[in-house]
Amino acid sequence: MMKKRFDELTTRELYALLALRTEVFVVEQECAYQEVDGKDLDAVHYWVEEGGEVVAALRVLVHASPIAIGRVVTRPGHRGNGYSRQLMQAAVNDYGGETLYLQAQTYVEPFYASFGFERTSDEYDEDGIPHVDMVRKSNA
């Protein structure tokens, strides 16, 4: 697993992270939105490579209040290998002393609950996909 702040990323690493997120969130999930949103500049990026290819990633917005975890993604064909769990565990280990926030697609709410996140909103539509807000209290 790799972990870097934005300014530490090589251009190839950044390209691979953005390409993976676009492949899944924009193309596979058919959500037309601004993937390059400016938030990566202040994020810590976590990812897993397999065979020299980025296959899973997430970002932590460390300057948000509360700290936010987002863009949790695994490439099709690599799902079910525990990569997202590995990345989430690393992020929770690094920032679990703080309250953490995320927006979860409703179908993966149990996954995030396994890390101590609790639903804090009613279900809402985000780009045609049901979501809920979730929070993990510090040292949960």
pLDDT, average across residues 49-63: 96
Its pTM stands at 0.93
Q: What is the pLDDT of residues 82-135, one digit of tens each?
A: 999 999 999 999 999 999 999 999 999 999 999 999 999 999 998 889 999 999
Q: How far apart are CA 140 and CA 34, in angstroms?
A: 33
Q: How far apart are CA 106 and CA 130, in angstroms?
A: 6
Reply yes or no on domain 2-136 having CATH 2.60.40.10: no
CB 89 within 8 A of CB 115: yes
Using 50, 70 and 90 to split pLDDT, how confident is the model at 30? Answer: confident
Residue spans of the domains in the chain: they are: 2-136
pLDDT, average across residues 63-79: 95
